[in-house]
Amino acid sequence: MMKLSAEERAAALKDLPAWRYDQERQAIVRQFQFADFQEAFAFMTRIALAAEKADHHPEWSNVWNKVDVALTTHSAGGLTVKDLDLAAIMDKAASA
């Protein structure tokens, strides 16, 4: 799994407008907000299954109705296609 170049990253983020690149963490980050804890955790459960299936896991935190996510690929030392894929899955799950 190859780390994306800065050009590849910029192009990919155009399709993920809700995400921003965090240079320090070498990760893409986004906050999701839901109606309440139930909705937030239902989202996390869907994503947990998808993450396990892809063998690629988010770094995330949850405070009641909010879920803060950072996606990076430690083994590649930065952002890879795996992160973009999981970000797209999350966007879809959150808007469903």
Nearer Cβ to a copy of itself, position 1 or 64?
Answer: 64
Q: Which is nearer to a copy of itself, 48 or 89 (CB)?
A: 48
Which residues lie below 8 Å from residue 90, measured CB to CB, with a gap of 6+? 30, 32, 43, 47, 58, 69
Residue (15 or 59) nearer to a copy of itself, CB: 59
| 67 contacts 34 by C-beta, under 8 angstroms | yes
Give the residues lining the site for a copy of itself (CB under 8 A): 37-38, 41, 44-45, 48, 51-52, 57, 59-64
